[in-house]
A and B are shown apart, each in its own frame.
Chain A
Amino acid sequence: MRTITGALAALAMGGAAWAEPDPADWDAVTETARGQTVYWNAWGGSPTTNDFIAWVGRRVAEDHGVTLEHVKLSDTASAVSRVLSEKQAGQHAGGAIDLIWINGENFAAMKAADLLFGPWAWELPNWALVDRTKPVDVDFTVPTEGYESPWAAAQVVFMYDTADLPEPPRTVPAIAAWAAETPGRFTYPQPPDFLGSTFLKQALYGVVDDPAPLLDPADNADYDAVTAPLWALLDQLTPNLWRQGRAYPQTGPRQIQLMADGEIDLAISFSPGEASAAIANFELPDTVRTFVPEGGSIGNASFVAIPYNAAAKAGAMVVANFLLSPEAQARALDPQVLGYGTVLDVAGLPDEDRALFDGIDLGIATLSPDELGTALPEPHPSWMERIEADWTARYGVAD
């Protein structure tokens, strides 16, 4: 046993002694990547996303000889746990995870704990195509500094079923007023589910007079004063929620299911194309449409990051770069495939690449970029943490 451990340790040290791949020398990266297997840890709860990742795998195998394995997670944090366990056990090279679909708190936590490789993302060849006006270099106000690479843009919309609700309420206070009239027809995923927390942040934007303090750490502001209108609103709304707020859907997809089952009429979504994609997959009736609340909605991006001890960093970068290619971005945008927003500056692309995007039918429930408007920035993560904790204390543990 000792000899085996010794041999493995020697092997691991040998690995650490190798030079890390340098993204600035892209030819060397693709050379190193050829033949590597990349384990991409990504949420596996959506068949359409899984299909898309499988397609990415086929494409990077064809073009770059990289084998992509999708490690389907039920929760991104289990990938964070794995890297943490590896670091705890002193496995500083040859880790089990090469690429993680990540954003927000998980990114902030991994970055703060020095669990990430980088910076590398801004050296990718396709980074030049990215639209910098989108939230691609800050993740929940935390600067990415090139430690993660964006691959999909997201913005909050509300989905409503025109068959039951022809004229939806278009502000959060209006939603509360509507719920008072027709109780039991609205809910949101239970915070700290990210979509539920997003609803709270969207609601906060809808009730504060001055959103400026939200972009700084919550401790710098008068947290109680800023959030007081939010709690007043929720105190009024909660008894009129689905199941009187005594139960909540646990995830976004379960919330969509409630809509398909006719239990609720209005639901939040973090993907403008989600409703169209769900209609294409028979998961929602074709009478569903979306809107952006008055005053705008929160937008962010999904990223991929590489753990500090990843075994196939070069391969991981090749995958990240492919995700930023017009081919992959256009495919993700198609609601028949995924319905994810692009992070590229489509107008600035060469004609032939732009044609890929022009040919896509965004679907009946998807808003045009003009209708979506400019996204509001995510508040600083400290707001989300404190609001989640307070929400749990107020509504999450009491019957």
Chain B
Amino acid sequence: MTDVRSQGAARHRPQRRPARVLPAVPMLATAFLLLPVGAGVLGTLAPAFGVLPAAGVMQPGLGAFADLAAWPGLPDAVRLSLVAGGVSTLLSLAVVTAVLAAWSGTRTFAAVRALLSPLLSVPHAAAAFGLAFLIAPSGWILRALSPWATGFDRPPDWLIVQDPWGLTLIAGLVAKEVPFVMLMALAALGQADAGRAMTVARSLGYGRMTAWVKVVFPQVYRQIRLPVYVVLAFSMTVVDVAIVLGPNTPPSLAVQAVKWMGDPDLAMRLRAAAAAVLQLALVLGALAAWWLGERAVAALGRRWIAAGGRGRREVWARRAALGIAGLSAAAVLGGLAVLALWSVAGFWAFPDPWPSGLTMQNWTRHAMTLNATVAETAVIAAVSTLIALTLAIGCLEAEMRHGLRLGAAGLWLLYLPLLVPQVAFLPGLSTAMLLAGVQGGTAAVTAAHVLFVFPYVFLALGDPWRAWDRRYGTVASALGAGPDRVLWSVRLPMLLAPLLTAAAVGVSVSVGQYLPTLLIGGGRVQTLTTDAVALASGGDRRAIGVFALAQTAAALVPFALAIGLPRLIYARRGGMRHG
């Protein structure tokens, strides 16, 4: 491959102006990610170490940490963060691995693939509320079974949701993380040449699952490591899902930090900042532990592979894999369905399986707000995705033309906004932006969204871009096309489908941003998600139902377009549909 590239490069004409901009793009993108996160973390470190002039605090020292250590809930909160994050990540990875090992390449697997976009489009908070209503003692499952099967005419006093071990929280996180890890794994699978490897292994007598885990998994995991780290960091620091499903006596550290951040007593901001710093340290520690775990598993795994076990009895394992994945998909989609029902429900008492009447009152009530916020949400999502896409194409093109590949350090930087807990840098960032004279507004919020959209877009686009056969470029160059023309007339049209998928991922990420929109926008920029979270704070299931459906639609439409548009545009050019 590198040979092809250098041959192509040798034929380049002397570089013109655009080519001088291009090599700077990766640097620009890195600075774009690094500066705000860095500024934000500094803005959080200062109060953690006792410096918060606006609240009249100037006592540099470790007082805030001592104060935090004295909080009696700290051990439980820390344990909850670590356990919920670690276990849910492990389980998600296990489920994805099992499903891929058992079913990839089969007809059943097409159904799994088809479910991915809708599952990814359901916002986290909505999925949490839906799950809570499904499984609570007064929830839909028990309503459907009562009183004829259970004998209950009052909901039993069972601690299911908000259990102290965080089991419901873990279940909710797994249900939402499995689709994301699956999406990433599928992208990686495209490059793993799994089909031929599997054929070889199967012909040596290995069972389907054993063969996949032994031959394909190591290649796939290598590529999805960073996304898995992102999942680990995310599930340790998640706030909205944890408030709904997690225990609250005490809550996880991230939830508690946000609560302290919101305490009327301004001195609590110091403790909140200290908690955010501790949270950051916990995430780094967990990542290090995961990394060590990878080594251990790799060592054990090599021995296991070399031992040569064929593993033939796999029928039950295959069914179990599909069952668990189906359950997690059903939890999300079933939750969304009951929320949809709530959005039109009149009074709905336990143990009635259906509401006593239907009303459109909630939809008419929210229609006006929805119209206004949908427009704002769409503009922010479109612009931030466009910027992110341009940056990503710039980076990838620089990589292709000039060999400026982001190294391991660069990749870490790319993921920085996703790995550093939002609560640890966004408050600091909003202060930093004010200091720089940037007014919170749609533009500032859009810029902040790019921080989170860009890594996902880059991730979604990177692999198809690199997998593109460079010989097409060579042919075009031989026919006299310059590098720009190769990009515009050959590469981008051929990569239309992945470009649109990357855009859809970007839009769904932008639509889901809550803290960046609220904090950077100073509350003046309202999107579907800020409205939804504000309403969710009230816990009104009907309103949550309306907004959950609207949010899901906002994220789902781009995915549908990403699938439909290439078919439409290339309806008469069959060859382009496999670019």
Interface residues in chain A, defined as those with a beta carbon under 8 Å from any beta carbon in chain B: 1, 4-5, 8-9, 39, 41, 43-47, 50-51, 54, 69, 71-75, 77-82, 84-91, 96-97, 104-106, 108-109, 113, 164, 183-184, 190, 192, 242-244, 246-251, 253-254, 257-258, 260-263, 281-285, 385, 392-393, 395-399
Asked if B294 CB lies within 8 Å of chain A CBs, one says no
Q: Which residue in chain A gives the minimum CB-CB distance to B357?
A: A282
Instruction: Report Cα–Cα, A244/B162, bound state, in Å.
Output: 13
Give Cα distance in the complex from A314 to B322, angstroms.
63
Contact across chains for A250 and B248 when beta carbons are under 8 A apart: yes
**A-contact 0/1 string along B523-540, CB 8 Å cutoff:** 110100011011111111
B73 and A44 contact, CB distance less than 8 A:
no
Contacts of B54 in A (CB 8 A): 84-85, 87-88, 113
| A398, B524: Cα distance in complex, Å | 39
Choose, from B217-225, B345-353, B462-470, the stretch at the interface: B345-353
Neighbouring B residues of A4 by C-beta, 8 Å: 437
Is the CB–CB distance between B250 and A39 below 8 Å? no
- Complex contacts, B249 vs chain A, CB 8 Å: 190, 246-248, 395-399
- Residue from the list A54, A113, A244, A253 in contact with B539, Cβ < 8 A: A253
Q: How many angstroms from the CA of A73 to the CA of B56 in the assembled complex?
A: 25
Contacts of A243 in B (CB 8 A): 157, 159, 162
B539 touches A47 (CB 8 A): no
Q: Which residues of B contact A282 (CB under 8 A)?
A: 345-348, 357, 359, 542
What are the residues of chain A within 8 A of B105 when measuring CB–CB? none
Q: CA separation between A45 and B265, bound complex, in Å?
A: 22
Which residues on A sit within 8 Å (CB–CB) of B88? none
- Closest CB pairs A-B (n = 4): A45-B538, A397-B73, A44-B534, A96-B522
A87–B494 alpha-carbon span in the complex (Å): 52
Other CB < 8 Å A-B pairs besides A44-B535, A81-B269, A82-B523, 14 of them?
Answer: A4-B437, A45-B540, A51-B365, A86-B434, A88-B431, A88-B434, A109-B264, A246-B164, A246-B247, A250-B248, A262-B138, A283-B347, A395-B249, A397-B249
Could you write out 20 A-B pairs with CB less than 8 Å apart?
A: A8-B439, A43-B537, A73-B523, A73-B534, A77-B262, A78-B262, A82-B430, A84-B55, A85-B54, A87-B54, A244-B159, A247-B159, A248-B248, A253-B539, A254-B539, A263-B138, A282-B359, A282-B542, A397-B76, A397-B250
Contact check: which of B52, B243, B362, B526 meets A72 at CB < 8 Å?
B526
Structural contact, A396 and B265, CB atoms closer than 8 A: no
Considering the chains assembled together, what is the distance between the CA atoms of A190 and B248 in angstroms?
A: 9
**Which A residues lie within 8 Å of B440 (CB)?**
96
Q: Are A69 and B264 in contact (CB under 8 A)?
A: no
Asked if B265 and A283 sit within 8 Å, CB to CB, the answer is no
- Are B535 and A78 interface neighbours, CB within 8 A? no
Kindly state whether residue B26 has any CB partner on chain A within 8 Å.
no
Interface centre among A85, A113, A250 (most CB of B within 10 A): A85
Candidate in A46, A79, A242 with the most chain B CB atoms within 10 angstroms: A46
Contact A47 B431 (CB under 8 A): no
A392 and B531 in contact, given A39-B524, A47-B543, A78-B262 (Cβ under 8 angstroms): no
Determine which of B136, B157, B539 lies in contact with A184 in the assembled complex, contact meaning CB atoms within 8 Å. B157
Taking A44-B531, A45-B537 as contacts, is the C-beta distance between A285 and B155 under 8 angstroms? no
Q: What B residues does A69 contact at CB under 8 A?
A: 524
Whether A79 touches B523, Cβ cut-off 8 Å, given contacts A4-B437, A54-B368, A90-B435, is yes
Q: For the complex, is B261 an interface residue (Cβ under 8 Å from A)?
A: yes
| B55 and A47 within 8 A (CB) | no
Chain B residues with CB under 8 Å of chain A are 52-56, 71-73, 76, 136-138, 154-155, 157, 159, 161-164, 243, 247-250, 261-266, 269, 345-350, 357, 359, 361-362, 365-366, 368-369, 427, 430-431, 434-437, 439-440, 518-519, 522-524, 526, 530-531, 533-543
Assess whether B540 is in contact with A81, with CB atoms less than 8 Å apart.
Answer: no
Task: Determine whether the beta carbon of A260 is less than 8 Å from that of B437.
Answer: no
Q: How many A-B residue pairs have CB under 8 A?
A: 206
Residues of A within 8 A of B250 (CB): 396-397
Task: Determine the distance from Cα of A77 to Cα of B435 in the docked complex, in whole angstroms.
Answer: 21
A284: min CB distance to chain B, Å:
8
Q: Which residue of B lies closest to A87 (CB)?
A: B54
Asked if B262 contacts A96 (CB within 8 A), the reply is no
CB-contact partner of A5 in B266, B357, B436, B519, under 8 A = B436
Cα–Cα distance between A263 and B143 once the two chains are bound (Å): 13
A256 to chain B, nearest CB (A): 8
Most chain A beta-carbon contacts within 10 A, residue among B263, B366, B368? B263
Asked if A71 and B537 make an inter-chain contact with CB atoms under 8 angstroms apart, the answer reads: no
Please indicate the chain A residues that have their CB under 8 angstroms from the CB of B136 in the complex. Answer: 261
Q: Please, how many angstroms separate the alpha-carbon atoms of A399 and B430 in the complex?
A: 37
CA A50 to CA B248, docked complex, whole Å: 28
C-alpha gap A4/B164 in the complex (Å) = 52
In the bound complex, how far is the Cα of B262 from the Cα of A84, in angstroms?
A: 12
Q: Are A71 and B526 in contact, CB atoms less than 8 angstroms apart?
A: yes
**Complex-state Cα separation, A260 to B362, whole angstroms:** 17
- Does B349 contact A257, Cβ atoms closer than 8 Å? no
Q: Are B437 and A183 in contact (CB-based, < 8 A)?
A: no
Given the complex of chains A and B, what is the CA–CA distance between A285 and B347 in angstroms?
7
Question: Considering only CB atoms, which chain A residue lies closest to B272 in the complex?
Answer: A81
What B residues does A285 contact at CB under 8 A?
347, 349
- B55 / chain A contacts, CB cutoff of 8 Å: 84, 113
Q: What distance in Å separates the Cβ of B49 from its nearest Cβ neighbour in chain A?
A: 15
State the CA gap A80–B523 with chains docked (Å).
11
In this complex, the member of B55, B154, B161, B264 whose beta carbon has the largest number of chain A beta carbons within 10 angstroms is B264
Cα A73 to Cα B531 with chains together (Å): 8
Residues A47 and B365 in contact in the complex (CB < 8 Å), given A81-B261, A86-B434, A247-B248: yes
- Cβ contacts under 8 Å, B533 to chain A: 74
Give CA–CA (A284, B518) in the complex, Å: 32
Residue of A nearest to B152 (CB): A262
Q: CB-nearest residue of chain A relative to B154? A: A262
Q: Given A260-B347, A263-B138, answer yes or no on A108-B264 (Cβ-Cβ < 8 Å).
A: yes
Chain A positions within 8 Å of B531 at CB level: 44, 72
State in angstroms the CA–CA spacing of A106 and B264 once bound together: 5
Per the bound structure, the CA–CA distance linking A8 and B438 in Å amounts to: 9
- Cα distance A105–B248 when bound, in Å? 22
What is the bound-complex CA distance between A261 and B137, given in angstroms?
9
Contacts of B157 in A (CB 8 A): 183-184, 242-244, 263
- Residues of chain B within 8 A of A113, CB atoms compared: 54-56, 266
Q: Which residues of the partner chain A approach B366 to less than 8 Å between Cβ atoms?
A: 47
Contacts of B434 in A (CB 8 A): 85-86, 88-89, 91
Contact A47 B541 (CB under 8 A): no
Q: Which residues of B contact A385 (CB under 8 A)?
A: 265
A4 to B431, CA, bound (A): 17
Q: Are A85 and B264 in contact (CB under 8 A)?
A: no
If A82-B523, A243-B157, A263-B137 touch, whether A72 touches B530 (CB-CB below 8 Å) is: yes
> With the chains together, A140 CA to B26 CA distance in Å?
56
Closest residue to B537 on the A side, CB-wise? A74
Query: Looking across the interface, which residue of chain A has its beta carbon closest to that of B347?
Result: A282
The distance in angstroms between the C-alpha atoms of A214 and B101, with both chains bound, is 66
Q: Taking CB as reference atom, which chain B residue is nearest A42?
A: B534
Of all chain B residues, the one with the shortest Cβ separation from A85 is B431
> Are A89 and B540 interface neighbours, CB within 8 A?
no
Contact among B72, B430, B518, B541 with A393 in the assembled complex (CB-CB below 8 Å): B72
> Within the complex, which residue of B155, B262, B539 is in contact with A263, where a contact is CB–CB below 8 Å?
B155
8 Å CB contact of A261 from B138, B265, B357, B361: B138
B365 contact set on A, CB distance < 8 A: 47, 51
Q: Is the CB of B538 within 8 A of A46?
A: yes
* Residues of chain B contacted by A246 (CB below 8 angstroms): 159, 164, 247, 249
Residues on B with C-beta less than 8 A from A258 are 138
In whole angstroms, what is the CA distance A354 to B542 when docked?
35
Selected from A9, A87, A97, A104, the residue in CB contact (under 8 A) with B523 is A97
B542: chain A residues within 8 A (beta carbon): 47, 282
A87 to B155, CA, bound (A): 50
